[in-house]
């Protein structure tokens, strides 16, 4: 289900909308509180942009020595196009998932990547697992596991950063300067869950849980003109 202004009814969504003008463009900030489940709802990125973003607020500090990250993704991006799916950064990138220019998929912050089937316009279930004790890292695509790579053994992902979908800020303290539009995801993301251990992806995440009834998502959209329809 795509979240558009026509779908956001009072029975499903309670949100606080702050409107203000910035550089002669309408900027809308939405703090989303869902009274129902998010499991069938989707965040849509309809086009490349340097100023729209979705920030997820985790349920606990993200100091991680292991993790399982899962999400549903659909996109029509092909060819030499880099796309950010998920980004967690403090000062540096710490837990990122992205599509590289060559169509391979990378996780963490590593030059090593996985050659797996490309994402498409139909929803794909994507998972990344990592364990600091060995560095063992796997990418799962629709339940099929990649070969194992060994990345950043002994590393601990530090707490205190921010989580974004579809974008990766170069500086989280200066987000008003914008993002790199060439790396923006064009597509849909849903069912995002993150655990602080390597486990089966059938459980609900204990760090990020897409179904949690809470104000756990922040969306900022810059629209090309005041008459444009807002969406998230």
Domains contained in the chain, number: 1
pLDDT computed for residue 208 by the predictor: 73
Interacting residues of 138 by C-beta distance below 8 A, sequence separation 6+:
128, 129, 145, 146, 147, 148, 149
Residue 164 lies in a domain: yes
Question: First and final CA of the chain: distance in angstroms?
Answer: 11
Residue 232 lies in a domain: no
Beta strands in 38-92 (DSSP E): 42-45, 53-56, 66-75, 83-89
Closest to 94 (Cα-Cα) out of 232, 228, 221, 194: 194
**Ranges of the chain with pLDDT below 70:** 1-40, 109-110, 170-178, 200-206, 212-232
Question: The domain spanning residue 145 has which CATH number?
Answer: 2.60.120.200
Residue 144 lies in a domain: yes
Residue 2 lies in a domain: no
pLDDT computed for residue 157 by the predictor: 93
Helix (H, G, I), strand (E, B) or coil at 8: coil
pLDDT computed for residue 14 by the predictor: 33
Residue 223 lies in a domain: no
pLDDT computed for residue 38 by the predictor: 47
Residue 115 lies in a domain: yes
Residue 203 lies in a domain: yes
Whole-model pTM: value is 0.71
Residue 13 lies in a domain: no
Q: Provide the residue range defining the domain that includes 168.
A: 36-214
pLDDT computed for residue 50 by the predictor: 82
Cα–Cα distance for residue pair 17/220, rounded to 1 Å:
10
pLDDT computed for residue 19 by the predictor: 23
């Amino acid at each position: 289900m795509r979240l558009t202004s026509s779908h956001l009814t009072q029975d499903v969504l309670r949100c606080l909308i702050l409107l203000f003008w910035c550089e002669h463009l309408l900027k809308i900030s939405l703090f989303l509180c869902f009274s129902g489940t998010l499991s069938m709802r989707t965040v849509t990125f309809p086009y490349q942009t340097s100023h729209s973003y979705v920030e997820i607020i985790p349920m606990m500090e993200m100091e991680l020595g292991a993790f399982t990250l899962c999400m549903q993704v659909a996109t029509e991006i092909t060819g030499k196009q880099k796309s950010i799916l998920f980004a967690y950064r403090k000062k540096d990138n710490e837990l990122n998932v992205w599509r590289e220019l060559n169509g391979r998929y990378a996780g963490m912050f590593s030059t090593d990547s996985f050659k797996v089937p490309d994402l498409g316009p139909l929803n794909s279930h994507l998972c990344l697992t990592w364990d600091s004790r060995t560095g063992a890292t796997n990418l799962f695509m629709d339940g099929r596991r990649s070969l194992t790579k060994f990345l950043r053994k002994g590393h601990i992902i530090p707490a205190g950063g921010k989580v974004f979908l579809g974008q990766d800020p170069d500086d989280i303290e200066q987000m008003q300067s914008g993002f790199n539009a060439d790396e923006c995801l064009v597509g849909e993301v849903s069912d995002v869950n993150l655990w602080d251990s390597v486990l089966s992806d059938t459980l609900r995440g204990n760090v990020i849980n897409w179904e949690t009834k809470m104000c756990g998502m922040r969306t900022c959209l810059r629209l090309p003109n005041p008459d444009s329809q807002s969406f998230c």
